[in-house]
Amino acid sequence: MRMFARFIGFVFATGALLAVIAALAAGGLIYVYSKDLPDYTQLKNYEPPIMTRVHAGDGSLLAEYSHERRLYLPSNAIPPLVKQAFISAEDKNFYTHNGVDPEGIIRAAMVLAQGNKHVQGASTITQQVAKNFLLTNERSFDRKIKEALLSLRIERAYSKERILELYLNEIYLGLGNYGVAAAALNYFDKSAHELTLAEAAYLAALPKGPNNYNPWRNRDAAIARRNYVIDRMVENGYATRKDGDAAKAEPLTVNPRALSPNSIAAGYFAEEVRRELNDRYGDKKLYEGGLSVRTTLDPKMQLMARKALVDGLLRFDEAHGYRGPLKVIEISADWGQSLGEIPALGDVAPWRLAVVLDANDVSARIGLQPPREKSGEISHVRETGSLTADGIRWTRQRMRQALKPGDVVYVEPVEGRSGQFRLRQIPEISGAIVAMDPYTGRVFAMVGGFSFDQSSFNRSTQALRQPGSSFKPIVYATALDNGYTPSSIILDEPIEIAQPNGEVWRPENFEEGHYGPHTLRYGVEHSKNLMTVRLARDIGMPLIAEYARRFGVYDDMATYLPMSLGAGETTVMRMVTAYSMLANGGKRIKPTLIDRIQDRWGHTIYRHDERQCLGCDAPKFDPSNEPKLVDNREQVLDPLTAYQITSIMEGVIQRGTGVSIKEVGKHLAGKTGTTNEAKDLWFIGYSPDLTVGVFLGYDKPRSMGDSAQAATYAAPIFRDFMKMALADKPDTPFRVPPGIKLISVDVHSGLRSSGAGAILEAFKPGTAPPDTYRGGGDSHASHTPATDQAVGSGTGGLY
């Protein structure tokens, strides 16, 4: 008996000793691994990378920028159904364990012993948080030990809901999506709150291996894993068996969210916003900061602008003939595969790539490029159509001459004629159009070329081009602001200017000939170079350069006389901004594509409108003390001068180089611009509430032809856009500022007249033509007001 007691004592002593040794070993192990553990307290202030989202003025989504596609949802905003799906799939004891789940470890070990390696592992959600946030993906016992130790600490420091929040926002769920919010949008085009049981279960199936459960390439495996999660949810009491069976019977319908259709037409606009955000905040904040950007874009106006510009570019391009196919391929039984592999521009819809299958004298049969499936594979569906003689009439060739089997071309459906198409070609010429609110500088629409997919170079903001005669209103506004009147007389006669290099510059009018003395108004309306140079010489180029700086056309303009004819280089955006200041009465504005920027927490960190509103924070409205907006913007031009040049540019459209725009039927002002050899064509103009600028030219400047004029190609684009943009707007006259005197004068002489050809001319106080005139020694003195005889007086004379 004593021997047995001693044996039992020995066993207990040995056991105790082994327990102590094990405890010491475990303690030592914990001590060793604890020394190098990452600081888990950083999870308290963790801010994950979140995508920046850019919205149009109406709230529609234009673009997203991110390294990791993620939207962050706090725990109280994540639906219980989503939480339950992930807990069932990944960690059913999440709410009861302390970071490490012994039951899960034993279960995983038993399954592993049975040789099955493809079921739920032993890591808890807390362990996955520790690994994803604080450790690496290294597969080793060292990492697993650190992971377990960190999990225990995390569980003591944070609530279960905080841990689950971190996990559900960090986890990678395939197709570039991180977190449940982004995945819900990009798999099902839904918010997390809208997910069904089957959809939530599919997302919860993905953490084990997103590529293994790709909904297109591995559809059967994806459905099987989804159904497994549904069964676990039923088993855990999160769903009834009836609901579970119904969810398992549902097809796996993945509907990736597409950006707004507006984004296709707004590529240049969105990219300009991206560049500004990057310049303002840097790459990290742009792609990871979760900014919410509300832009100034008007989606409807953007579509109008794109249509007007594209139509104008095609008018010019097609007038210069057909240049042949994009590519030639062999016609085989599976022509669709060959055609489908050719990259097509994604922003030229409804254009489509097509291959000519056969052609005769009057028609051609074409095969249309098959679309790509969601999986990225080329569709097996083959679609054909026909090109008729009308569809290639612009080529001025017969069908067999223009098209041959194997030619790859762009075609456009003929409206109202099913299966019939029109031949198209990508224009060589390019251009830009910008539409702006003249009172705020908000850009409603911007198109920087024919296709953003073809070239991201933005001709609205990046192309430095000569504005030509579209710069003349700045010259004439300078004169009107410094003593001239619209009736001041200037000579349209040859002039010679000695250059610093000893050469003589002899400017010429665009149209040959010169016609003697004319009013300042006439010089703008008919874009007379000789009159402009004489005027610029008289008022001085340094003064004109100062006004060009005020209007933002140039930062530092050279003071050579040719600059008065628009020989410098500027951008469409700068010119539209300058004309906006003429339209708004001479107030300085800053162009902007962004109204407001908010950070990830919803705090406004940028607002374009800097005006102060006095009384807007009053607790209640007081009719006797209405809120007032304080406008401290700089006055860069006398409002009376701004109205005078606006009235003169109305004449450009009524009688001058922009007469084709009259058919819009609204009060409009503007100016054409054609440079030497027609390398640049412009039209900049405005209504009382909208300023629009159009530019056309080759990217490598070259002549557009002897007959090319802004009046022929640029003005019609402005006309077409204004027809659409102002279609449902009333015809509003330009506001006449206090102090302007409208006097009836003869349009040719500028003298008082109420007969045929008389117009209402705008004069500042004290500058109106007198009622009577006297003659003088000069052969043209009869055209000159008696009070304005002195050459250089600024209110008249012959220059």
Tell me phi and psi for residue 434, to 5 degrees: -135, 135
Measured CA to CA, the distance from residue 215 to residue 213 in angstroms comes to: 6
Quick one: which of 478, 522, 314 has its CA closest to 410?
A: 314
Separation of alpha carbons 124 and 90, rounded Å: 7
Active-site residue, 469 included: yes
Of 645, 673, 646, nearest to 658 by C-alpha is 673
Q: How far is CA 394 from the centre of its chain?
A: 33
**Helix H or strand E segment including 622:** none
Please write down the long-range contacts of 695-698, taking CB distance under 8 Å and 24 or more positions apart: 695/431, 695/432, 695/433, 695/459, 695/460, 695/463, 695/465, 695/572, 696/312, 696/313, 696/316, 696/429, 696/430, 696/431, 697/429, 697/430, 697/431, 697/463, 697/465, 698/428, 698/429, 698/430
Contact 441, 592 (CB under 8 A): yes
Q: Amino acid identity, residue 369?
A: Q
DSSP summary character for residue 613? E
Do the beta carbons of residue 235 and residue 281 sit within 8 Å?
no
Distance, CA of 528 to CA of 522 (rounded, Å): 8
Three-state DSSP class for residue 474: helix
| Strand 489-492 relative to strand 61-65, pairing | unpaired
Rounded to a whole number, what is the largest CA-CA distance in the chain?
A: 153
CA 404 to CA 358: how far, in whole Å? 7
Sign of CA dihedral 571, 576, 580, 586: positive
Q: Rounded to whole angstroms, how far apart are CA atoms 481 and 652?
A: 20
Looking at 88, 430, 469, 470, which residue is catalytic? Answer: 469
SS3 83: helix
> DSSP letter at 766?
T
Q: Are 65 and 286 in contact (CB under 8 A)?
A: yes
Burial class (CB in 10 A: 0-12, 13-18, 19+), 504: exposed
Catalytic residue among 64, 90, 272, 525: 90
DSSP for 409-473, please give it.
Answer: EEEEEPTT-TTEEEEE---S-EEEEEEE-TTT-BEEEEE-SS-TTT----TTTT--B--GGGGHH
Sorted by sequence, the CB contacts under 8 Å of residue 87 that are 6+ apart come out as 94, 95, 125, 164, 236
Rounded-to-integer distance, Cα 215 and Cα 226, Å? 11
Q: Which residues contact 748 (CB under 8 A, 6 or more apart)?
A: 518, 519, 522, 757
Q: CB–CB of 436/571 below 8 Å?
A: no
Laid out side by side, the sheet with 669-674 consists of 443-447, 430-436, 690-697, 681-687, 669-674
Respond yes or no: is residue 90 known to be catalytic: yes
CA dist 373 and 217 (Å) reads: 11
Residue 312 to residue 433: CA distance in whole angstroms: 11
Task: Give the DSSP letter string of 8-46.
Answer: HHHHHHHHHHHHHHHHHHHHHHHHHHHHT---GGGGGG-
Instruction: Say if residue 350 is preceded by a cis peptide, omega within 30 of 0.
Output: yes
Give the helix/strand (H/E) hosting 58. none
Catalytic positions are 90, 469
